[in-house]
Amino acid sequence: MAEERKKPIAIITIGMAGAGKSTFVQRINSYLHSQDPPKTPYILNLDPAVTHVPFEANIDIRDTVNYSEVMKQYNLGPNGGILTSLNLFTTKFDQVLELVDKRVDTVDYVILDTPGQIEIFTWSASGAIITDAVASSLSTVVAYIIDTPRTSAPATFMSNMLYACSILYKTKLPFILVFNKTDVQSHQFALDWMHDFEEFQAALAEHGGTRDAEGEPTYMNSLMHSMSLVLDEFYKHLTAVGVSSMSGDGIKEFFDAVEASRETYETDYLPELARARATREKKLQDAKDESMNKLLRDLTMDRAKNPGGALSDRWDPNAEEDDDDDNDDEDIIDRTEEAWPGQYIDVTRAQRHPEERINWPRPG
Ligand SMILES: Nc1nc2c(ncn2[C@@H]2O[C@H](COP(=O)(O)OP(=O)(O)OP(=O)(O)O)[C@@H](O)[C@H]2O)c(=O)[nH]1
Ligand SMILES: [Mg+2]
């Protein structure tokens, strides 16, 4: 019997402009199609400004929002235009999730390509909403694409790693560092630096002046030294693979890492998600309790101040029970469907059923 089909894994590709995100998505797309039996990806393009997408997207943000129109209409520059387009698209993201949901039994991977400007996705509300929405419905992994040849200077390498680090801590999702363009330069130097702190320090010393004219360590150097100590901890939490989106090298290793991420998602992310939800619900409950206590305190104070009023403020045990009123929850009034307070209703003519005859007493 065929083994039970697993739910798809969502891969969110993030990376600096030009790191090769779209080329990478195209490469993994063709890799999946070439498997035997072929694996089916479901691809989302979230870059509204791209003119040519090298893969066929199942859902394309450009079908929903017109980036250049948005720029014109809201008087925005290119980045504001991308951000606003993404915001507009996010308002409909529930529909995207529904569409994805319909495919969970036939699709193996859901792949998201994000806009070129990394901060638009990673530091915007819509990026966070999209990431959280995907991650709470599917096992999800972040593929952080790095332009390897452009990251070979120690200072650039570190700032790129710090950026990755900030995304890891923000999303708390399983994370794969994808050193792309290994056809141009091998990513071995990066692995060495990540595994051996001393080696990175040596590279730093060699690369820039570590001492200023007076022979003191430069500001930059001591900053980088302490930063690299932070990163040492960070490296323990992730997997690094080298790939070439041009030649296809390393793509299999990437998918091995993706499959392994399923476990991290279940052991680390899901409990974290449950914790975050519980905290949110507790906060809400606390706020409700607090306002209830406040109300009760106010009532007690009122009664103390006005004992006469308090005496008459009691239920009359002899009063007839009103059957309609034993429901504690007040119905919320929907103005579009029901009469609302302030709308004139001639209650003297209102009947609960056609036979009902009520003689309303005339005033006076
Ligand atoms: N040599 C080499 N070039 C690559 C590789 N991957 C991407 N490129 C090139 O890098 C450039 C940028 O690639 P894209 O895929 O557009 O990068 P992107 O991150 O999607 O770019 P934006 O979305 O515009 O930020 C293109 O010229 C690609 O041909 C690779 O593995 N090797
Ligand atoms: Mg792109």
Distance 274 CA to ligand 1 centre (A): 37
> Which atom from ligand 1 is nearest to the alpha carbon of 54?
15
129 within 8 A of 92, measured Cβ to Cβ: no
Extract the tokens encoding 275: 């914790």
pLDDT at 85: 93
19 lines ligand 1 (CB under 6 A): yes
246 lines ligand 1 (CB under 6 A): yes
Distance 318 CA to ligand 1 centre (A): 82
pLDDT at 210: 58
49 lines ligand 1 (CB under 6 A): no
- Which residues fall inside 5 Å of ion ligand 2, going by CB? 21-22
Name the DSSP class of 322: -
Residue closest by Cα to atom 21 of ligand 1:
18
* pTM, rounded to two decimals: 0.78
Q: In whole angstroms, give the CA distance from residue 180 to residue 182.
A: 6
Dihedral angle sign, alpha carbons of residues 256, 258, 263, 268: positive
- Map tokens 């990755």 to a residue: 164
> Which atom from ligand 1 is nearest to the alpha carbon of 17?
25
Among 245, 247, 254, say which to mutate for ligand 1: greatest number of ligand atoms within 8 Å of CB.
Answer: 245
53 lines ligand 1 (CB under 6 A): no
Residues 6+ apart with CB under 8 A from 139: 7, 8, 9, 10, 261, 262, 265, 266
> Which atom from ligand 1 is nearest to the alpha carbon of 247?
31
Q: In whole angstroms, give the CA distance from residue 146 to residue 151.
A: 8
41: three-class secondary structure by DSSP: strand
> Which atom from ligand 1 is nearest to the alpha carbon of 47?
23
State the DSSP string of 204-250: HHHHS-SB-TTSPBPHHHHHHHHHHHHHHHHHTT-EEEE--TTT-TT
Distance 255 CA to ligand 2 centre (A): 20
**Buried b / exposed e across 251-279, counting CB within 10 Å, b at 16+?**
bebbbebbeebbebbeeebeeebeeeeee
27 lines ligand 1 (CB under 6 A): no
Distance 186 CA to ligand 2 centre (A): 22
**Closest ligand to residue 26's CA:** 1
> Which atom from ligand 1 is nearest to the alpha carbon of 243?
31
244 lines ligand 1 (CB under 6 A): yes
pLDDT at 206: 78
pLDDT at 143: 97
38 within 8 A of 32, measured Cβ to Cβ: yes
Please, is 96 exposed, middle or buried when counting C-beta atoms within 10 Å of its C-beta (0-12, 13-18, 19+)? buried
Span between the terminal Cα atoms of the chain, in Å? 87
Distance 18 CA to ligand 2 centre (A): 7
**Closest ligand to residue 14's CA:** 1
Nearest CA-CA partner of 9 in 354, 285, 351, 254:
254
Distance 81 CA to ligand 2 centre (A): 16
Distance 193 CA to ligand 1 centre (A): 24
Extract the tokens encoding 109: 């991977």
State the DSSP string of 46-115: --TT-S--SS--SEEGGGT--HHHHHHHTT--HHHHHHHHHHHHHTTHHHHHHHHHHTTTT-SEEEEE--
Q: In whole angstroms, give the CA distance from residue 146 to residue 160.
A: 8
Helix axes 21-34, 251-264, angle to 10 degrees: 90
Nearest CA-CA partner of 33 in 193, 251, 275, 336:
251
pLDDT at 13: 97
Consecutive 10-residue runs of the chain (364 residues): their mean pLDDT? 76 96 96 93 93 90 91 93 93 90 92 92 92 93 97 90 91 95 96 88 74 66 77 84 97 96 91 89 92 88 78 70 52 48 55 67 58
157 within 8 A of 228, measured Cβ to Cβ: no
User: Diameter of the chain by CA atoms?
Assistant: 103
